[in-house]
């Protein structure tokens, strides 16, 4: 009951017994509370440290229990003084942290370019994302192209997403349809939705982006190589354009619980098949189309072979002509 005051159950039991019979010795205490002598003596030392026992004025070498009114009041006062000291130390620490943050900001001034902050390296990007996530109050919009996400990326994102979701922040994220075939990434998206996040998928996505509270955006410097670094910007025009692009993609994407293979009634094509035909018709190679769709080259070739069979085409050129004739392109 008094553990918050530093008094454990054993010490409290010894204190109670001494209040009931202050003149009993150590042997009597051990017998009454059924504890070995070393344990009782340790409890007596603890009580003396807490000033709940004092030297007896009548019996030299003996201890006398201080009244609960006086002794417990002293413990409370001591804890109040300790709390005040800790609060003062915390205030000093906060001031020191504020000064350090300001100093570090000046050290990073060379990374500021054109109204944005250039983040070079995965560590710098992760540190910035942690700061932005901690400041989130409303929503975070995310586009995650590239199909299956790496285990390292998912591990780095999990604590940030969990913190935001548990604080009531709205998370909306768009992945590529192909993540439904990757157990690790799909499990992550289900975990997110279980905590209240909203996830949709689409065959093809715009470049990777994160938008925080519609005021700050983080995008890759080179969409083809996200390891090259990222740009963090608060430019209203850029952020507004990215939000509009996200909303447009979100409207056409399929919720995680939906079927991304649902066929168009008029053509019988799934969104993924239609997008594959469109990409190849623009002259993209199988490798480039696979990268845009977030799937393997083998998958692209298998899907194209199935489409050629449906079109009864002997070549891809003939398949393109017949697809155009049927209004598939």
* Tens digit of each residue's pLDDT (9 = 90 or more) over 159-195: 999 999 999 999 999 998 888 888 899 899 999 989 8
Q: What is the CATH number of the domain that holds 276?
A: 1.10.10.10
Residue 34 lies in a domain: yes
Beta-bridge partners for 53: 65
**Are 139 and 182 part of one and the same domain?**
yes
* pLDDT higher than 70, residue 13: yes
Residue 220 lies in a domain: yes
Residue 199's H or E segment, with its range, is strand 198-202
Cβ atoms of residues 130 and 160 within 8 Å: yes
**Are 121 and 251 part of one and the same domain?**
yes
* pLDDT higher than 80, residue 220: yes
Residue 50: name the closest of 106, 89, 8 by CA: 8
Residue 172 lies in a domain: yes
Listed residues 226, 255, 284: the one ending a domain: 255
Residue 109 lies in a domain: no
The predicted pLDDT at position 170 comes to 93
**Are 166 and 207 part of one and the same domain?**
yes
- Binned at pLDDT 50, 70 and 90, residue 110 comes out as very low
**Are 280 and 223 part of one and the same domain?**
no
**Are 147 and 60 part of one and the same domain?**
no
**Are 244 and 284 part of one and the same domain?**
no
Mean pLDDT throughout 206-223? 91
Q: pLDDT tens, 130-166?
A: 989 999 999 999 999 888 888 888 998 899 999 999 9
Cβ atoms of residues 10 and 2 within 8 Å: no
Please compute Rg for the chain using Cα positions.
Answer: 34
- 262 Cβ partners below 8 Å, 6+ apart? 254, 270, 271
Q: How many domains does the chain have?
A: 3
Q: Above pLDDT 90, what percent of the chain?
A: 21
**Are 247 and 127 part of one and the same domain?**
yes
- Binned at pLDDT 50, 70 and 90, residue 92 comes out as confident
CB atoms within 10 A of CB 289: 23
Global pTM value: 0.55
The predicted pLDDT at position 265 comes to 45
Q: Above pLDDT 70, what percent of the chain?
A: 84
């Amino acid at each position: 009951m008094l553990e918050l005051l530093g008094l454990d159950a054993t010490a409290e039991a010894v204190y109670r017994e001494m209040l009931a019979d202050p003149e009993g010795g150590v042997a009597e205490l051990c017998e009454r509370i059924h504890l070995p002598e070393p344990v009782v003596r340790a409890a007596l030392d603890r009580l003396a440290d807490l000033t709940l026992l004092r030297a007896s004025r009548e019996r030299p070498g003996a201890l006398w229990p201080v009244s609960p009114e006086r002794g417990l009041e002293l413990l409370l006062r001591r804890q109040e003084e300790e709390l005040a000291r800790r609060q003062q130390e915390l205030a000093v620490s906060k001031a020191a942290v504020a000064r350090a943050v300001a100093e570090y900001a000046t050290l990073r001034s060379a990374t500021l370019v054109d109204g944005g902050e250039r983040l070079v390296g995965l560590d710098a990007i992760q540190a910035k994302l942690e700061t932005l996530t901690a400041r989130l109050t409303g929503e975070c919009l995310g586009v995650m192209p590239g199909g299956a996400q790496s285990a390292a990326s998912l591990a780095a994102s999990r604590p940030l997403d969990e913190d935001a979701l548990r604080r009531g922040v709205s998370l909306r994220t768009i992945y590529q349809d192909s993540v439904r075939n990757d157990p690790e990434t799909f499990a992550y998206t289900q975990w997110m939705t279980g905590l209240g996040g909203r996830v949709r998928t689409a065959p093809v996505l715009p470049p990777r982006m994160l938008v925080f509270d519609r005021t700050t955006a983080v995008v890759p410097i080179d969409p083809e190589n996200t390891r090259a670094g990222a740009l963090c910007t608060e430019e209203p025009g850029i952020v507004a354009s990215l939000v509009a692009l996200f909303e447009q993609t979100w409207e056409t994407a399929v919720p995680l619980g939906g079927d991304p293979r649902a066929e168009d009634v008029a053509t019988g094509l799934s969104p993924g098949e239609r997008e594959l035909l469109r990409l190849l018709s623009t002259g993209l190679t199988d490798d480039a189309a696979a990268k845009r769709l977030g799937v393997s080259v083998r998958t692209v070739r298998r899907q194209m072979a199935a489409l050629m069979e449906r079109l009864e085409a002997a070549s891809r050129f003939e398949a393109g002509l017949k697809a155009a004739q049927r209004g598939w392109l």
